[in-house]
Structure 1
Amino acid sequence: MDVLSFLRADHESVLGMIESLERGRGNSAAELDARRRLATGLVIASSRHEAVEEQFFWPEVRRTVPDGDELADRAIGQEDAAKRLLQQIENSEPGEPAFEQALTEVMSAIREHIEFEQSQVWPLFEKAESAQGREALGKKMEQAERAAPTRPHPNTPSGSVVQKTAGLAAAVLDKVRDAVTGRKDDQPPRPPRP
């Protein structure tokens, strides 16, 4: 699968979760529980997505795109800021001011990040990387996403090597914690792949 198709499917899935979260702002116990589940799904999907981008996509952007270092640095800065907000969501409960503030900020940040990637990075990457290269990268990222961390880990450095080593260890611990806490039940469905 072409890497840009892979990334687009993830982006559409995350944007769908954001739209659902924006609609569901009720205060009943059932509404707050549904909001918590949706927010957890957003945290999981965003954490997996950013981890595989940091492992594979941004290094390729650096390697192939003119000014790729600058573009990747900007994107990773956005991702790091989002990880801190996602961690605040993890550490609080729906309806609490800290949760609602972090959720509002992360939804805006995610939209801004997606717009930056799709409008500024992807066109340059598509010109710089061959169709075969994009296809191979998409397959790598699709495989890696299955084993990616499900939590944000804002204190873990965002570099490719760190994500491929410490990130994998964090992913194993995340999956154990998810199973023990029942959080695995809040996993969002995998986006359909073309």
Structure 2
Amino acid sequence: MDALTFLRADHESVLGMIESLERGRGNGEAELAARDHLATSLVIAASQHEAVEEQFFWPAVRRALPDGDELADRALAQEESGKRLLQRIDDSEVGTPDFEGALTEFIRALREHIEFEQNQVWPRFGQAQSPQELEGLGEKMATAKKTAPTRPHPATPSRSGAQKTAGLAAAVLDKARDLVTGRRSHRPPDPPAP
């Protein structure tokens, strides 16, 4: 699958989760449990997605486009803010004011970030890359997602090298913690291939 198709499938999956979280703001025990499960799935999916972008997509944008550094820097700043919000979501109890506030901020920021990527970066990046380059990048990202961190790690630098080293170590710890705590069952399924 090519890089932009891979990223679009991830975006659609995450957008589906936030739409469900926006609709299900009830306070009943079953509703809160369902929101908790879905919020954990959102944190996992968004954390993996951002780690993969930081490892592969944004470095490719930097190389491919004349203003790639500026575009990548803007996107990474958005992602850093998103990681801090994801951490608040992960640390907060569902239904509390901090959880709901962080979720509302994250949803707004996520939609803004996706709009920037899809409308400003992807068209230009897609034109600057050959189909083979897009396919190769997509394969690397799909492989990397399997070993990506499942938590936001806002203190880990967004640079590709840091993500490939410190991010990999964080991912190993995340997966061990997920297994011990049962959080592993909240991992969302991979989006279907087109």
TM-score, length-normalised on structure 2?
Answer: 0.99
Corresponding residue SS for 1:94:
coil
* TM-superposition CA deviations, 1:41-84 (whole Å, max 9, x none): 11000000000000000000000012000000000000000000
- 1:53 is matched with 53
Are 2:73 and 1:76 aligned?
Answer: no
Q: What is the CA-CA distance between 1:29 and the residue it aligns to?
A: 1.0
- 1:32 is matched with 32
Distance 2:177 2:162 in 1: 21
* TM-superposition CA deviations, 1:120-142 (whole Å, max 9, x none): 00011011111110000000000
- 2:10 is matched with 10
Distance 1:103 1:94 in 2: 10
The root-mean-square deviation of aligned C-alpha atoms, in Å, is 0.5
- 1:165 is matched with 165
The share of aligned pairs that are identical, in percent, is: 71
Q: What is the CA-CA distance between 1:188 and the residue it aligns to?
A: 1.0
Distance 1:190 1:107 in 2: 21
Distance 1:190 1:68 in 2: 28
Specify every segment of 5 or more residues in structure 1 that has no aligned partner in the other structure, as ranges.
Answer: none
Specify every segment of 5 or more residues in structure 2 that has no aligned partner in the other structure, as ranges.
Answer: none
- 1:182 is matched with 182
- 1:128 is matched with 128
Distance 1:7 1:88 in 2: 24
Which residue identity is paired with 1:73?
Answer: D
Distance 2:95 2:116 in 1: 30
Q: What is the CA-CA distance between 1:185 and the residue it aligns to?
A: 1.0
Distance 1:24 1:179 in 2: 27
Number of positions where the alignment pairs a residue of Structure 1 with one of Structure 2: 194
Distance 2:97 2:187 in 1: 24
Distance 2:190 2:126 in 1: 24
